Amino acid sequence: MLMKGKKGIIFGVANNRSIAWGIAKKLLDDGAEVAFSYNGERLKGNLEKLLAEYPGRKLYDCDVSSEENILKVAEQYKQEVGQCDFLVHAVGFADKTYLEGAFLPTPKEVFLQALDISAYSLVSLTRAFKPLMTAGSSVLALTYLGSERVVQNYNVMGVAKAALEAIVRYLAYDLGPEGIRVNAISAGPVNTLAARGISDFPDLLKIHRKIAPLRENTTPEQVGGAAYFLLSGLSVGVTSEIMYVDGGYNTVAVGAISAYDKE
């Protein structure tokens, strides 16, 4: 019960398949006081249903592309909850028209929107909630291997995740002297609402199962376990880290030959 009584907020629960929900369950079941943000009324209903067995949670409507909206949520949270021991950024978006085929055609507005929502928002959220953080507070973001290596169709999201990972390192450096830690989990592919926007995603899941040393797909529960570690005092001393929770996939250059097309 290391998170019992700890207070914080999770951005990015859309439904029961969300990676953020895997993290939330772990924290809620451990007795943490978790607040949530949702993006629009439609998703609020999902969240309310999920939280039926955890009554009294604070919910905030937040579009992370709006600085004004973020500041308003941070102010409301300050009034209603107070301190922020943990903040989870599990938010990402890119126009799915460009998560298919070549990267080259990506228009500037699509690029900027993807980087704004998926990467810059970590800066805005951390800045807005920082006055509520103290030594021991922990910030966590979610990233994916497509930031470092080409994953077909991931395209502009790969660029956004590369920025997000660099942001994690710079924020960790800025906040380290105050004892605030910033890390990311690089999760293997998980079948979520956002992931289904990526072309051929079911194939990506299948390839992952064949090649990852653990020979299985990553689950939100697995990410939840690692998130618990990174958000709790267990990981004191760990910051600026990108931790893989991908069954070891990132370490394999050539996996089971049967996973590849043979001509």
Ligand X SMILES: NC(=O)c1ccc[n+]([C@@H]2O[C@H](COP(=O)([O-])OP(=O)(O)OC[C@H]3O[C@@H](n4cnc5c(N)ncnc54)[C@H](O)[C@@H]3O)[C@@H](O)[C@H]2O)c1
Please report the DSSP string for 177-210 in residue order. Answer: GGT-EEEEEEEPP---TTGGGSTTHHHHHHHHHH
Q: Which of residues 42 and 262 has its CB atom nearest to ligand X in the complex?
A: 42
Binds ligand X (CB under 6 A): choice among 133, 142, 212, 231: 142
Closer CB to ligand X, 2 or 17, in the complex: 17
Q: Which stretch binds ligand X (CB under 6 A): 63-71, 78-86, 129-137, 167-175?
A: 63-71
Q: Using the rule CB under 6 A, is 70 a contact of ligand X?
A: no
Binding mask 109-128 for ligand X (x = CB under 6 A): --------x-----------
Instruction: Tell me if 224 contacts ligand X by CB under 6 A.
Output: no
Q: Which amino acid is at 130?
A: K
88 φ/ψ angles, rounded to the nearest 5 degrees: -110, 125
Among 86, 120, 144, 249, binds ligand X (CB under 6 A): 144
What are the backbone dihedrals phi and psi of residue 154, each rounded to the nearest 5 degrees, phi first? -75, -30
Check residue 39 for interaction with ligand X (CB under 6 A).
Answer: yes
Applying the rule CB under 6 A, the residues between 166 and 205 that interact with ligand X are: 187, 189-190, 192-195
Q: Which of 185, 183, 170 shows the shortest CA–CA distance to 239?
A: 183
CB nearer ligand X, residue 27 or residue 117: 117
The residue whose two tokens read 């079941």 is 29
Closest CB to ligand X among residues 30, 63: 63
Active site residues: 144, 154
- Residue of the chain from 27, 47, 92, 168 that contacts ligand X (CB under 6 A): 92
Of the candidate spans 8-16, 94-102, 225-233, 234-242, the one that interacts with ligand X by CB under 6 A turns out to be 8-16
Cβ closest to ligand X, residue 32 vs residue 187: 187
Q: Is the distance from CB of 263 to CB of 236 less than 8 angstroms?
A: no
Pairing between strand 59-61 and 33-38?
Answer: parallel
Nearest alpha-carbon partner for 162 in 141, 136, 177: 141
The residue range among 24-32, 89-97, 172-180, 235-243 that interacts with ligand X, by the rule CB under 6 A, is: 89-97
For 116, list phi and psi in degrees, rounded to 5: -65, -55
Part of the chain binding ligand X (CB under 6 A), chosen from 27-35, 51-59, 136-144, 252-260? 136-144
Burial tier of 157 (Cβ tally within 10 Å: 0-12, 13-18, 19+): buried
* 116: CB partners within 8 A, 6+ apart: 65
Q: What is the 3-state secondary structure (H, E, C) of 81-133?
A: CCCCCEEEECCCCCCHHHCCCCCCCCCHHHHHHHHHHHHHHHHHHHHHHHHHC
Rule CB under 6 A: choose which of 3, 70, 91, 159 binds ligand X.
91
Instruction: State which residue, 32 or 47, has the beta carbon closest to ligand X.
Output: 47
Q: Give the residues lining the site for ligand X (CB under 6 A).
A: 12-14, 18-20, 39, 43, 62-65, 90-93, 117, 142-144, 187, 189-190, 192-195
